[in-house]
Amino acid sequence: MKEAHVVNVPHGTPRIYAIGFVLSIILTAIPFSLVMAGALPVVALIPTIVLLAAVQIVVHLVCFLHLNRSCELAWNLTAFTYTLVVLVILV
């Protein structure tokens, strides 16, 4: 019988998940509090929210989806990069 090719995909530790969770809460609470307090003018608020959203996307990719530069996940990183290029072109 033919054996399936198994790739050892690294899984996160509880510590990594906790760090990602805490960072996600912080990166959500900061823009929320800036909007609710009216701390910044709209011209500065929108870029700040977009920047913090981009940082949160990176946190999710690294901590929860385990996207890194390892050889085992090269195709995932390639597919993600292609998706980003297409989104930049279309948007």
Residue 75 and residue 33: Cα distance in Å, rounded?
38
What pLDDT, on a 0 to 100 scale, did the predictor assign at position 37?
96
- Apex 74 CA angle, 12 and 69, nearest 5: 55
- Closest of 90, 86, 26 to residue 59, by C-alpha: 26
Summarize the confidence of residues 76-91 as an average pLDDT: 84
Q: For 8-59, what is each residue's pLDDT tens digit? A: 656 778 999 999 999 999 999 999 999 999 999 999 999 999 999 989 988 9
Handedness of CA 80, 85, 89, 91 (dihedral sign): positive
